[in-house]
Structure 1
Amino acid sequence: MSSKSLHHKRSFSSTAEPTSDGVRLAGDDAESSSYPMEAPDDLRSRIFRLRLPKRSATSVIEKWIAEGRKATAPELRNIVRDLKKSQRFKHALEISEWMRNHQESELSESDYAMLIDLITKVFGVQSAEEIFEALPPNAKSCQVYTALLHSYSRAKLVEQAESLFERIKDSNLSCNILTFNEMMTLYTSVGQLNKVHVVVEELKRRKISPDLFTYNLRVSACAAVLDIDGVKKILDEMASDSNSDDPWSTYIKLTNIYIAAAHFPSSENSLVESDKKISQREWITYDFLILLHAGLGNIQTVSQIWKALQLTSQKMSSRNYICVLSSYLLLGKLKEASDVIDEWKQSKVLDIDMSDTCSRLFDGFMKVGSIDTAETLREIMRQKNFKITRSTA
């Protein structure tokens, strides 16, 4: 069976259940052909006027062409991107499928990568995997491999991701830093921090230049195990990186000030303020910011950063809780630590096993006489299925 026929058999049948749009697909039901006279009548507008996910973007395209008009690949590509931004994944996937069936010769690496990403969002990782394997060899570029790797990473499917990563490394494809960042992101998210270093060594062996996100992932891995010396080494690498530019230089300068200084500079230009000048992707991790300020004894800023983290859309992790708890313990702020413990207990965070670090925290609270906080931490470890080691047994 060809890749097209395989996909056509699965795509948008009346029994398919998408995973993101939250509705059962009802086939190629066409949207009403009556549009307000004052509304613009172009292909994009017709598609965006589809209000329900069960309505068919494919039917709109076919009707448009039946009227003697053209649906070019660049126009459809832009519509797909806009639909994705609007989280209308089912309609975006329909158009991506239509392009694959009718304009395959015009598809780019990005088009195939988008297809994998949209299939993941609508039908799930397994469907994306099936379609990837059915693609012709010339369509399986590194960008498309990385799109599937991203799907595995978001679903935290470590074994599948590692297997695909090995295929990528064994191939003759020329991959960029994005592929390696995906693996480091996965390992960081599941708490397999020792494997981040392995990926870093591989990209160095291949002489692939890191970007700022690569460095931030490495910083996050060090911060998660309170390895400030490791962070210093990473900053030294950044400082000597020939690819560094002005934003990197500012970043390195400020973080080194915070590591080395015994007090804050008199200027109001703190790292917390300066991070507003660079993108979210380029931000140093909240964890590392908290550790830097804790090392300088600035309890107020630690609390401010912690509150800021809670207000973001970022999903909280065990690593975040452990980082701020370590900081409060270091600063002797046991009431604040107790409050964080209570918040963690009520959360549904189950993503990272930080048993060793939690064990050290437990010992720390016991040594300062904060028995209730230590016992609550022990309860959280059991609740989160962390292994109880050392004196916590």
Structure 2
Amino acid sequence: MASRSLFLTLGRRCSHGRFVHSYYQSPALVKSANLSRFLTSGALRSDFVEENPNSSESDDLRNRIFRLRLPKRSATNVLQRWVSEGNQITMSELREITKELRKSQRYKHALEMTEWMVTHEEYELSESDYAARIDLMTKVFGIDAAERYFEGLSLAAKTSETYTALLHSYAGAKLTEKAEELFLRMKDSNLSFDALAYNEMMTLYMSVGQVEKVPLVVEELKRQKVAPDIFTYNLWVSSCAATLNIDEVRRILDEMRHDAGSNESWVRYSNLSKIYVTVGHLDNADSNSPVEAEKRTTQREWITYDFLIILYAGLGSKDKLDQIWKSLRRTKQKMIGRNYLSIISSYLMLGHMEEVGEVIDQWQQSTTTDVDVHACEKLMDAFADIGLPEVANNLNMILIQKNLNPGSN
């Protein structure tokens, strides 16, 4: 189901990428013989050639690489030809192209770029380079290949970044036991880890339904005196809300507001979360009941998605809001008023009035329920209570335009 992949976005804030997609899923590719051939081959088969250059494009290395439309074509061949023509390739250039390839989900070509770094001694790999290779190994050849690569690294290369990259791979594949074993190794390694590693474990537990383990990870984070980030708080709040521990949700939100690292995004998230708890009827929700008859998405999961929406509203990321809301609407489950209120309040906070109107229209047209005008009125009161009367007024004006004025009902 489209919405289930949303859990995988919760804990990310770096370049590793969460969505696992590969051009190659054949088991043959993960066999050690194929892996060895790929990693030791400096070049290259003659049938792996780039497409003919387009005269309208500048003939630089990046464009040559991106003209390789098919994964089977060899980026290594392009690099070697570029050098044979008397050109230089800088480390920064390799990294920038690799980054773009990863964003474009061209993982096989990106891995070939990093392999060029490895096989040429003039380039010195950083911690981030090794971490990127672990992520790319996972996507191209699978978890086993990434695991073998990590274990084969020198002790100096087994850093917090490479450990976290492998943990990310385990979490993405929902390999709970392997992730927990690696997490123990990380704690015994005497390395310093930031909140990202803990977020990976929290995301994993959320994705496999073991929400009761999330607070235990937070306890460990605090024992190690690691500063939580906004993703940490979102996962923590979501886990408590999913088990309807609303008092704990409120306590966490208060802690957020007093956190030394809090900023505008944190405050916005905290305010929206408080509004959601106030007007979302969480106290009356049944965490074990299905949203609708199909019985595949529980109330607990819907609550988690709502807090994911609130998180990206806090971060000011409208693109993410649009993406998540579109994905949720494509599911076969019918949403309830609380879900509409979370996205409406988020768009309101970011000042996107047109989108608010569109969501209200969707709510009116839904077969789940008519627009709960009184809930909208509570939402306006909640915005006023946190010192944002203009936001409350914006919602009121939209309701009036749609003949849904609370005062007339």
Bucket of the pairwise TM-score, normalised by the shorter protein = 0.5 to 0.7
Shift in Å, 1:106: 1.6
1:282–1:204: structure 2 CA closer, same or farther, 3 Å change rule? farther
1:186-220 CA distance string (max 9 Å, x none): 01111112211111111101111101100100111
Give structure 2 stretches of 5+ with no counterpart: 1-31, 282-308, 326-334, 345-366, 370-409
Match of 1:236 in 2: 254
Match of 1:275 in 2: 313
Greater RCO (CA < 8 Å, at least 6 residues apart): 2
Find out whether 1:160 has 2:198 as its counterpart: no
Find out whether 1:205 has 2:223 as its counterpart: yes
Match of 1:56 in 2: 74
Contact conserved, 1:28 with 1:56, CA < 8 A, in 2? no
**Superposition pairs of residues 49-128 of structure 1, within 5 angstroms:** 49-103=67-121, 105-128=123-146
1:35–1:257: structure 2 CA closer, same or farther, 3 Å change rule? closer
1:223-279 CA distance string (max 9 Å, x none): 22122112112112112211111222233234335545799xxxxxxx979937723
> Hey, what's the Cα distance between the residues in 1 that align with 2:158 and 2:248?
37
Shift in Å, 1:68: 1.3
Match of 1:147 in 2: 165
Identify which of 151, 172, 177 aligns with 2:190.
172
Match of 2:61 in 1: 43
Shift in Å, 1:48: 0.6
Identify which of 315, 327, 338 aligns with 1:302.
338
> Hey, what's the Cα distance between the residues in 1 that align with 2:311 and 2:185?
43
What RMSD in Å do the two structures reach over aligned CA positions?
3.6
AA aligned to 2:47 is D
> Hey, what's the Cα distance between the residues in 1 that align with 2:315 and 2:218?
28
> Hey, what's the Cα distance between the residues in 2 that align with 1:81 and 1:202?
33
1:280-339 CA distance string (max 9 Å, x none): 7998xx99xxxxxxxxxxx9742525999xxxxxxxxxxxxxxxxxxxxxxxxxx949xx
Identify which of 224, 229, 248 aligns with 2:266.
248
1:77–1:258: structure 2 CA closer, same or farther, 3 Å change rule? closer
Scaled by the length of structure 2, the TM-score of the pair is: 0.60
AA aligned to 1:43 is L
Identify which of 5, 16, 36 aligns with 1:9.
36
Give structure 1 stretches of 5+ with no counterpart: 15-25, 264-270, 288-298, 309-334, 338-393
Match of 2:48 in 1: 30
Shift in Å, 1:7: 9.2
Scaled by the length of structure 1, the TM-score of the pair is: 0.63
Identity %: 52
Shift in Å, 1:127: 0.6
